[in-house]
Amino acid sequence: IEPLSLDEAYLDVTDSVHCHGSATLIAQEIRQTIFNELQLTASAGVAPVKFLAKIASDMNKPNGQFVITPAEVPAFLQTLPLAKIPGVGKVSAAKLEAMGLRTCGDVQKCDLVTLLKRFGKFGRILWERSQGIDERDVNSERLRKSVGVERTMAEDIHHWSECEAIIERLYPELERRLAKVKPDLLIARQGVKLKFDDFQQTTQEHVWPRLNKSDLIATARKTWNERRGGRGVRLVGLHVTLLDPQMERQLVLGL
């Protein structure tokens, strides 16, 4: 398992015997277990390489899964917009389109040397992805950089007291999750996130050495008062940024 974010991860099930080794059935079982235990929906993408699994996971949101078998990869790539490839932003997509490159199929016809001259290292990555090549392994030892919890409300909230009550409920879960990865609770920063009824969101962080509920509540109230602008709030989140191991070592040596 390689965590990507609060609610996303890569799983390598190549050698798994669970569900008779079927990645599709494993994904279905994980999604069903999440729903049974948490009453939350989850989406999944199944593919032979990481970037295609990531793309597939977005195909049938919010509560479905999409499977790309090895045999289906060539046809899938032919019409796949380059903007769907992780790492291809709006600026890169515009430059590619100016060259007449809109899909992976277009890039397959393009000379690698041309891409390298125009985009450097990114040109090679783009060429490889368009061929269905992604040699990155699922890295279960990937350094975790943050820990967070959040809650999406069934109905938007409009009063600070409601927000504060949600933070009071979220905080113990954040504390529990942080203790699993950092028993000493040392952190670099802690912060809050609010998402509004127009789907815009804002975050605010403070440098803080240890998890502190009072500071989180004060930060949330400041954010609520200064950035909400009368809008309803549909999501409240708390998070901490973990200390870089090298920085933590320097701090310990300095004590």
| Domain final residue, candidates 89, 104, 130 | 130
Domain count along the chain = 3
Sign of torsion over alpha carbons 26, 44, 50, 239:
negative
| 94 and 22 within one domain | no
With respect to residue 139, please indicate whether it lies within any of the assigned structural domains: no
Give the structural domain span for 116: 81-130
In a domain, 136, yes or no: no
162 is a catalytic site residue? no
Q: Mapping DSSP to helix (H, G, I), strand (E, B) and coil, where does residue 89 land?
A: coil
Question: What predicted TM-score, i.e. pTM, was given to this entire model?
Answer: 0.60
Q: Is 220 within a domain? A: yes
Per-residue pLDDT of the chain (255 residues; tens, 9 = 90+): 887 777 888 999 988 888 988 999 999 999 999 999 989 899 999 999 999 999 999 999 889 999 999 999 999 999 999 999 998 989 999 999 999 999 999 999 999 999 999 999 999 999 999 999 998 888 765 566 788 999 988 899 999 999 999 999 999 999 998 988 877 767 889 999 999 998 899 999 989 888 999 999 999 999 999 999 999 999 999 999 887 655 444 444 444
19: left (phi over 0), alpha (psi -120 to 50) or beta: left
Catalytic residue among 2, 8, 135, 168: 8
Tokens of 87: 């790492």
- The C-alpha atoms of residue 255 and residue 249 are separated, in whole angstroms, by 10
